[in-house]
Structure 1
Amino acid sequence: MTAAAPPPCDWQTAKKKVKERGQYLLESGIWSDCRFIVGTEPHQQVFEGHKLFLAMSSPVFEAMFYGGMAEKDPIAILDVQPDAFRALLEYIYTDRINLTSFDQACELCYGAKKYMLPHLVEECTKYLWSDLYPKNACRAYEFAKLFEEPILMEKCLNIISNQTQEVLSESSFDDVELSTILTVFDQDVLNVQSELELFTAVTRYANRHNQCAAGNPSNEASTRHPTLRDAIMKIRFLTLSPQEFAEGPATSNLLTEPEKFAILMNISSPSTTVPMPGGFSTSRVRRLQNRNPRQFEHIFAGSSSMDTSRTSMIKFYAQGGNPSAFTEESNNEVSKKLYCTRVPLRLTDCMNTSVLDCAVTFTCDKNVCVYGIQVPAQDCMESEERQSTYTELLYAHLLDADGSRLTYTHFTSRVPWRSLIDISFNRPIYIQRNKVYKVGVVLHKTGLYHVGQYPSQSMCNGVVFTFGQGRSGTGDSVRDGLIRSIIFSISPSNQNAGNAHATILMAGLPGGPTEHKFP
């Protein structure tokens, strides 16, 4: 995008609306004061912009141009496609959103996430909802999983469960990630006549990618990266008749001869002394027999808005569909948000000059649901005492022991000096007892923070959190002084027998952070 000829005299008088003037500035490039090199060769393009316009719409651009993250011009953006960046600029300058395809919506949604434009994310996500078909359901699920859009994930699973035969028959299924195939095969409700349809799809996938699962060591199913064998072991072979198995899977090289014999023996006689191969499904329940309308479809069917930075409500349902008392509105202790506060042994000052990154590993002795964390706000300087608040800008996330991101949030808001800030993740996460997790926060605002030293354990409502776990001997010491509290709820699995699973309802928290004074 290059600057055009000098604008006509008094051009402003012909533009009645702000969006018309913004469109003119974007197209003409007059008064531009920043440049972006977008995309990768040979498709790179140069875009001109106006710092004020961009910062006015995005806290990321604000930090980029007027904060501690200031970058040199021109700014290289290699992870966004030029067409998507052009559409993003058009939205910023004119409020216009012109979505024409599923692929475009995915690309634009990525850019909107990156630059914290929640309304644009919402519109892209709604477009994706309306453009879901068996052909793109798996790809949309992968997109939703990558960018942690739980409502879109659930809608994709609805289509996969209700139109499984169409999904499996699409050629696009041959290009999905193995982890997606595992998710599909994990579903208790699938619209298939028999498990042969799943096995046929896996066989086609193996041929497409020149993979062979037979003969792999059984312990490969426990490796970090999913394998084709992991998918095969989820197929419910015991729901087939001996003839179906003999004429289908038994003729395939995806199973070893001993596995074929053991499976056929178990199909023919439930009382056989021959055990099923290790890790293979022992279920004899046909998926179609369990078929009911998906339990939570009504929750998402009418969803028209969502807060992409915060989640305020979570409900747990026990197997069988009976709702438990796990809601924020309930007075039951199970649903109450709790604060595992780390009482500081000592507080020291830390000046953030650019980007301050802190994290801490932890375990807890009970299953809990983590909502977010609590971090300290800045201590004001003498020159700043005139104002009671300032604008905080940070990023926070929750990781598992392997470093995989479970949830995150971008936070920007006016907060009081010397307060504690409640940061809610995009979605609550159900975590398991005695497993190692890691919470981290990255602060982008320059200023003075109080960093603490804490005891290794803290207890709240009978739940013991142990910090600094899983890092001994690795040489990877993490600075954890900014994580003051973990916000959580006690899981229903600690109160009731049986398993539970979580359904996330997207709803914005009441405006502004919760204020707590320093001890």
Structure 2
Amino acid sequence: MSVDHSATNNHQLTSCDWQIKKQKISERGQYLLRTAQWSDCKFIVGTEPYQQEFGGHKLILAMSSPVFEAMFFGGMAEKNDPILILDVQPDAFKALLEYIYTDAVNLQSFDQACELCYAANKYMLPHLVGECTNYLWHDLFPKNACRAYEFAKLFEEPVLMEKCLQIICLETEAVLQEPSFEEVEFSTLIVVLEQDELRISSELELFKAAQRWAARECVRKGLPPDDGKSLRSVLGPAVGKIRFLTLTPSQFAEGPALSPLLTQDESFAILLNISSTSASCKLPLPEGFSNSVESRCRPSPASPDQPSSLPVQVGILASPAHRDTKFYCVRNILPQPHCLNTSILDCSVTFTVDRNIFVHGVQIPTQVLGEGSEVGTGSSPPNPQLGGSYTELLYAHLLDSDGSRLTYTHYTTRVSYGSLVEITFNRSVEIQRNKVYRVGVVLNKVGWYPMGSCTQRMMCDTVFFTFSVGQPSDSVRDGLIRAIVFSY
């Protein structure tokens, strides 16, 4: 019996057509995920009525996640099929699978990043957690600062927590006016009320926001939202954090004194303390109430006719008024073996900031090999304590995300070994928040330079810097750029 080998070959070619056409493993992974071909496990994700079913491949999942490895191949391997996952949203689980199968991360919103980060933590995918956290870092606004704070606290991200608190303190009025403030956790409400400096016009704003939160919490707990006892029961010690004594008598009498939150005795005692200048006429404040008379109001960062929210043109020259106070975002560094420059040494680092600033220059380390020491192949490490000086020769510039030069300088001067030197650009440039920029320095002197790995995220005053963003090739020997010199 004869066999038509050509027909067999044509059949094999047809059945394997997708493997042949897919040039990258990510494309083949995407095909398997989309078609569920050869899938050997199923997941039911989410809660009714929004549940979705997903097919998966145990080997691929276990290869990426130790949690999936234990689930499918561990001693307590999952026997149920399909596997029920109730605590993850379907869209987040789909994005999780996309990452596992294709390495793709396509974040579109703050909420999506939070949900995906929860799933990534659950299944122990630290790189994906980092991608989500980085997205949140650049998508912080008053409307989501409190939620981002709670997220950062949950996943122990202290730097992100600090940035959220900065936004809350600097843009308090906008934060309190957001409807989402009524949804914050009680512990977050306490944190806001415990801040010593907030950008508010008076303590009335905090009182009104706390009352709104309490009314909403009563609804969540099935309590009457207009009943004083119910409001106080959910607020607990929070009401005592409000600095009533910073209010004028009329402010208190026309506001908090009329609220069901306070009893008549409490209102009378507070009003008497506000109004009276004589200690003998004052009544003791109710237990747990703040006796602070110090206002926590911060002045606005911009005058009414020049609001800080207006868009700013990139690349304009900084006015002298903006140069009075300079700040130095000095990067924490983990020292590494020194680098020998034999001709020209390129170094650069990309960065973003969370608010518009003026960049004036950078700080870089000088050579560590003292004068009179021999520069050779480097059989022994250089001694940074030798002292002396040499003539440094370099070029530095600031580029935007398209590689266009915004400012630059040529630098030649006598410098000390083992020190930091400040390089000032020919002109200061104003740059925009959340845009990627790159500082580059070209060192032209032969000698040893101290290398190191620098922290990727730093806060200086109220400005947050994120370094080494964008394309990895844009940040080269970035440890040689130790600080960004700026003002705002």
TM range (shorter): 0.5 to 0.7
Contact 1:212 1:254 in 2 (8 A): no
2:7 is aligned to none
1:266 is aligned to 273
| One-letter code aligned to 2:48 | E
User: Matched residue of 2:55: which SS?
Assistant: strand
Is residue 26 of structure 1 aligned with residue 40 of structure 2? Answer: no
Identical-pair percentage: 64
Q: Which of 31, 46, 59 pairs up with 1:52?
A: 59
Structure 1 residues 419-458: aligned runs within 5 Å: none
Deviations 1:76-103 (A, max 9, x none): 1111111111110000000000111111
Structure 1 residues 458-497: aligned runs within 5 Å: none
| One-letter code aligned to 2:61 | L
Q: Could you tell me how far apart the structure 1 residues matched to 2:187 and 2:328 are?
A: 26
Q: Which of 156, 170, 177 pairs up with 1:169?
A: 177
Contact 1:151 1:300 in 2 (8 A): no
Q: Could you tell me how far apart the structure 2 residues matched to 1:20 and 1:149 are?
A: 34
Contact 2:199 2:299 in 1 (8 A): no
CA apart distance, 1:289: 5.5
Contact 1:216 1:229 in 2 (8 A): no
CA apart distance, 1:162: 0.6
1:11 is aligned to 18
User: Matched residue of 1:138: which SS?
Assistant: helix
2:296 is aligned to 287
| One-letter code aligned to 1:17 | K
1:238 is aligned to 245
Deviations 1:122-176 (A, max 9, x none): 1111111211111111222222233333222222111111100011111221222
Q: Which of 140, 151, 155 pairs up with 2:159?
A: 151
CA distance 1:244–1:129, shift in 2 (3 Å): same
Q: Could you tell me how far apart the structure 2 residues matched to 1:170 and 1:36 are?
A: 37
With CA pairs under 8 Å and 6+ residues apart, which has the higher RCO, 1 or 2? 1
Deviations 1:456-506 (A, max 9, x none): xxxxxxxxxxxxxxxxxxxxxxxxxxxxxxxxxxxxxxxxxxxxxxxxxxx
Contact 2:45 2:90 in 1 (8 A): yes
CA apart distance, 1:283: 1.1
Q: Could you tell me how far apart the structure 1 residues matched to 2:77 and 2:123 are?
A: 15
CA apart distance, 1:32: 1.4
Deviations 1:211-258 (A, max 9, x none): 35745899x7xxxxxx31422111001111222212221122211111
CA distance 1:188–1:126, shift in 2 (3 Å): same
| One-letter code aligned to 1:199 | F
1:254 is aligned to 261
Q: Could you tell me how far apart the structure 2 residues matched to 1:63 and 1:299 are?
A: 48
| One-letter code aligned to 2:257 | A
CA apart distance, 1:299: 11
Contact 1:36 1:46 in 2 (8 A): yes
User: Matched residue of 2:63: which SS?
Assistant: helix
User: Matched residue of 2:16: which SS?
Assistant: coil
**May I ask how many residue pairs the two structures share in their alignment?**
287
Superposed CA RMSD in Å reads: 3.0
User: Matched residue of 1:79: which SS?
Assistant: coil
1:468 is aligned to none
Q: Could you tell me how far apart the structure 1 residues matched to 2:206 and 2:123 are?
A: 40
CA distance 1:7–1:36, shift in 2 (3 Å): farther
1:89 is aligned to 97
| One-letter code aligned to 1:164 | T
CA distance 1:81–1:260, shift in 2 (3 Å): same
1:80 is aligned to 88
Q: Could you tell me how far apart the structure 2 residues matched to 1:31 and 1:217 are?
A: 57
Q: What are the ranges of 5 or more consecutive residues in structure 1 without an aligned counterpart?
A: 1-5, 221-226, 293-297, 304-519
Q: Which of 286, 293, 309 pairs up with 1:277?
A: 286
CA distance 1:77–1:196, shift in 2 (3 Å): same
2:196 is aligned to 188
Contact 1:59 1:115 in 2 (8 A): yes
Q: Which runs of 4+ in 1 moved over 6 A?
A: 298-303
Q: Could you tell me how far apart the structure 2 residues matched to 1:59 and 1:195 are?
A: 50
CA distance 1:289–1:169, shift in 2 (3 Å): closer
1:65 is aligned to 72
| One-letter code aligned to 2:264 | E
Q: Which of the two has higher C-alpha Rg?
A: 2
Q: Could you tell me how far apart the structure 1 residues matched to 2:328 and 2:43 are?
A: 41
| One-letter code aligned to 2:296 | R
Deviations 1:325-384 (A, max 9, x none): xxxxxxxxxxxxxxxxxxxxxxxxxxxxxxxxxxxxxxxxxxxxxxxxxxxxxxxxxxxx
User: Matched residue of 1:46: which SS?
Assistant: strand
Structure 1 residues 92-103: aligned runs within 5 Å: 92-103=100-111
CA distance 1:217–1:44, shift in 2 (3 Å): closer
Q: What are the ranges of 5 or more consecutive residues in structure 2 without an aligned counterpart?
A: 1-12, 302-326, 333-488
Q: Could you tell me how far apart the structure 2 residues matched to 1:202 and 1:213 are?
A: 15
Q: Could you tell me how far apart the structure 2 residues matched to 1:16 and 1:269 are?
A: 82
| One-letter code aligned to 2:164 | C
Contact 1:215 1:256 in 2 (8 A): no
Contact 2:200 2:298 in 1 (8 A): no
1:205 is aligned to 213
Is residue 129 of structure 1 aligned with residue 137 of structure 2? Answer: yes
User: Matched residue of 2:43: which SS?
Assistant: strand
| Higher fraction of helix | 2
User: Matched residue of 1:278: which SS?
Assistant: coil
